[in-house]
Amino acid sequence: MPCIPHSAVALFLLLIPGMTTPALAYPERPIRMVVPFATGGGTDLQARLIAERMRLSLGQPVLVENRPGAGGLIGAEFVAKAAPDGYTVLMTTASVALNVTLQKQAMRFDLLKDFDPVTWVASSPLVLAVHPSVPARSVKELVALVKSSPRGLNIGANGAGTTSHISAEMFKQYTKSRSEIIQYKGGGPNAVGLATGEVDLAINTPTSFMPHIRANRLRPLAVTTEKPSSWNPELPPMHNFFPGFITDQWYIVLVPAKTPATVISTLNTQVKRALEAKEVIEFYRREVLDPVASTPEELTTLLKREVAKYAEVITRAGIKMQ
C-alpha cells in the first residue's frame, strides 16, 4: 500500500466541510531563551536554572543563548524582531527600562510596543550603606548629615548608567544635596571603595556588600525595594522616607509582540513552576533574590512605571551616555 504524505492528508481534511487540521501543541520544538548579557552573570545563571526546569516540565529543550552588547540592547533587539511564536524569548533586567532614556538614540525597538510581557520573575534590592566613620546610624541621621554639609558626601556607584548610578542620583535629588557621585567599574570595586573609606556612602547589591558587612567594614542603613527584603527584613526601605524611591534590580521575561495569548500563558505558568523548584529557591536565597512570578498585566504596569520614573531622574540629572 503506497505511503500518503502527511501534507496530502492535511490538504484532504481541509477540503472536507467542517474539518480542520488539529492544532499542534506548544511547544513542539526547542525554545530559545536569549540573555542579552555575558555568560556567568546573575541573569545568565537564573536563566539556565529556569530553562532546565522548563525543559523537564515541557519535554522540549530550552536553550539559553547569550547575545551581549550595548548594555543589553543587542539581545533585546534580536528578540523584538523574532517571529512571535513563543520559540524566542528574552530574559532581561531593569537596565532595559533605563536604556529607554539613556540610550534612546541607539535603541531600534520600542520596549512597550515591540514586546509582550510574560512575567516579572524576581527582584533584588540595592542597599544603601555608609563607611563606619560616617556618624549616621539611620537614614534620617544620614539625610540630616548630608543636608548640613555644604558639599554633601561622596557616593559610590557601580558605573555610569547602572541601577546603582541612578539610585545615587535619586538620593541626591530627594535629599537636595550636592553630593558627588564616584563611579567604579562594577559592584566589587564600589564595595571596596566604601569599605576603605574612599567614599562616604554607596548604593550597591547585597552580594557585593556582604563580605564587608560581616567584617564590620561598612554599615547598611536601608534597601531600595518597595518593601523590606527577605535578606535583611530589619533594614527599612528608602520608600518609607522618600515615597517613590524604589530602584530594585528586577528580572523579567518578554516575548515578541503579537505572540499568541495561549503561548504567553504557557510560558508564564512554566516560569512560575520553575521558581518553585528546590534548587531555584536555594539559588535565590543565596543570591539575595526574591521571586515575584507576576501576571503579564502586572509586568506591564511595572514597565510603564519604571520607564517613566527613570526618564524623570535621568533627564533631571542631565545624564548622557558616551
pLDDT at position 13: 44
**Quick one: pLDDT at residue 82?**
98
C-alpha span between 311 and 25 (Å, rounded): 41
Buried b (16+ CB within 10 A) or exposed e, 51-84: bbbbbeebeeebebebbeeebbbbbbbbbbebeb
What's the predicted TM-score (pTM) here?
A: 0.87
**pLDDT at residue 322, rounded to an integer:** 64
State the average pLDDT over residues 300-320: 95
> Per-residue pLDDT tens for 250-272?
999 999 999 999 999 999 999 99
Q: How do strand 115-124 and strand 249-256 relate by DSSP bridges?
A: antiparallel
| Structure confidence at residue 186 (pLDDT) | 92
Stretch 13-29: mean pLDDT: 62
Question: Which pLDDT score is estimated for 100?
Answer: 96
DSSP track, 170-185: HHHHHHT--PEEEE-S
CATH 2.60.120.10 fits 127-240, yes or no: no
pLDDT digits (tens, 9 = 90+) for 172-214: 999 999 999 999 999 999 999 999 999 999 999 999 999 999 9
**Buried/exposed 94-104: b ≥16 CB within 10 Å, e otherwise:** bbbbbbbbbbe
Does 2 score more than 90 pLDDT? no
CATH architecture of 27-123+248-317: 3-Layer(aba) Sandwich (3.40)
pLDDT band at 9 (very low <50, low <70, confident <90, very high): very low
Note the pLDDT of residue 19. 44
Domain boundaries, the chain: 27-123+248-317, 127-240
Q: What is the pLDDT of residues 48-69, one digit of tens each?
A: 999 999 999 999 999 999 999 9
